[in-house]
Amino acid sequence: MKLNVLVLPGDGIGEEVTREAVRVLRRVAAMYSHELALSEGLLGGIAIHKTGSPLPEETVRLALAADAALMGAVGLPEFDNAPPEKRPEKGLLGIRQALGVYANLRPVRAYASQLDSSPLKNHLVEGADMIIVRELTGGIYYGTPRGILEDGAETRAVNTMTYSRSEIERVAHVAFRLARARRKKVTSVDKSNVLENSQLWRRVVTEIAGQYPDVALDHILVDNCAMQLILNPRRFDVVLTENLFGDILSDEGAVLAGSIGMLPSASIGDRRPSGAFVGLYEPVHGSAPDIAGQNKANPLGAIGSVAAMLAYSFSLQEEASAVEAAVEAVLRSGNVTADLRPSGAPATTAQVGEAVCAAIG
């Protein structure tokens, strides 16, 4: 099979972890005799430096031409005070929108060999295995009006949280279908005691649930969800939520997995005529300026994103499982980066990438 993949390393540790993810992708392609056609594009701070835009048109063109895109992370401290249009994160929001990837799937697992990496007690995290489905192209990150308004003596900032019925329906279908292949439970997260937006969310999700009688649905308020994720993470199977809540809750989920560097993600949209999903694959973490350039970053979230890409965009389940099994083998070996608090000397980013390749075969 020909795997036509656009690589978007981005900024900071994005570049370092993506290098290892590509190394793993090359190994899988060689092992299973797939032809790999890689292109590379600019996104984020590096794109601003080279072209003046966080999302150059050429990157959008390459992304639309590829079967899937593999991204690192964006963000550079020097842009922290730049206007929104000139921030690296604008490129990230823009490419998600350009590809129409409206569902962000974030698996969170507490690996048995890594229970001690989590600051939580082992008995709390043990067995936690959920997938957070975050709506990705709507809500407050995209709603208008937005901006900082200077109005005489007073300064006011406005953001708008807005969802349409169809936006909620399509992401809810993704969550219910995923649940069917798992433990058949969807927990929908909202703030319907305060927000009209969430009231519509809850109503529409409840209606969609009627089409999946084999899947149980429950609703939870986002504040309680934040608490239950820590107190009782095993209660969750598929967690369905809107953009902002999902962004925050999935970082909290990282505590269960031991490190944010562990979490992969798949952002998918509708299916192409071929049946494969349009997809953007990226670790959950950011560009981590505090450790960038030091060969310290954990690449397993990026490598797990390769597994998701093989599964969702190429329907290569065996290859995806081979990557996941190799990641588990490396975790068991203890050859891990500093964020997972290994008992011995921490491995470098590159060493972990090499170890995963070796474990693949």
- Active site (catalytic) residues: 141, 191, 223, 247, 251
Task: State the minimum distance, in angstroms, from the CB of residue 288 to ligand NAD.
Answer: 4
What is the C-alpha to C-alpha distance for residues 248 and 113, in angstroms, rounded to an integer? 26
What is the C-alpha to C-alpha distance for residues 309 and 17, in angstroms, rounded to an integer? 16
Q: Is 261 in the site for ligand NAD (CB under 6 A)?
A: yes
Q: Is 260 in the site for ligand NAD (CB under 6 A)?
A: yes
**CA proximity to 269, closest of 69, 29, 2, 21:** 69
Q: Which of 131, 297, 310, 320 binds ligand NAD (CB under 6 A)?
A: 297
Q: Is 75 in the site for ligand NAD (CB under 6 A)?
A: yes
Eight-state DSSP code of residue 276? P
Q: Is 327 in the site for ligand NAD (CB under 6 A)?
A: no
Task: State the minimum distance, in angstroms, from the CB of residue 248 to ligand NAD.
Answer: 11
What is the C-alpha to C-alpha distance for residues 298 and 258, in angstroms, rounded to an integer? 11
**Which whole-number Å values give the CA distances from 92 to 49, 99, 360, in the listed order?**
15, 11, 31
Q: Which of 89, 126, 129, 252 binds ligand NAD (CB under 6 A)?
A: 89
Q: Is 307 in the site for ligand NAD (CB under 6 A)?
A: no
Q: Is 74 in the site for ligand NAD (CB under 6 A)?
A: yes
Q: Is 266 in the site for ligand NAD (CB under 6 A)?
A: no
Stretch that binds ligand NAD, among 68-76, 112-120, 176-184, 317-325 (CB under 6 A): 68-76
Task: State the minimum distance, in angstroms, from the CB of residue 339 to ligand NAD.
Answer: 4
Nearer to ligand NAD, 13 or 69 (CB): 13
Nearer to ligand NAD, 187 or 269 (CB): 269
Nearer to ligand NAD, 92 or 131 (CB): 92
Q: Is 291 in the site for ligand NAD (CB under 6 A)?
A: yes
**Three-class DSSP category at 95:** helix
Stretch that binds ligand NAD, among 67-75, 141-149, 318-326, 327-335 (CB under 6 A): 67-75
**Which whole-number Å values give the CA distances from 121 to 109, 124, 150, 203, 233, in the listed order?**
15, 6, 49, 36, 12
Tell me if 137 sits within 8 A of 97, measured CB to CB: yes
Task: State the minimum distance, in angstroms, from the CB of residue 211 to ligand NAD.
Answer: 32
Stretch that binds ligand NAD, among 94-102, 215-223, 256-264, 314-322 (CB under 6 A): 256-264
Q: How far is CA 35 from the centre of its chain?
A: 26
By CB neighbour count within 10 A (0-12 exposed, 13-18 middle, 19+ buried), where does 142 fall? middle
**Three-class DSSP category at 304:** helix
Tell me if 292 sits within 8 A of 349, measured CB to CB: no
Number of residues that bind ligand NAD (CB under 6 A): 22
Tell me if 10 sits within 8 A of 44, measured CB to CB: yes
Binding site for ligand NAD (CB under 6 A): 13, 17, 73-75, 89, 92, 259-261, 282, 285-291, 297-298, 301, 339
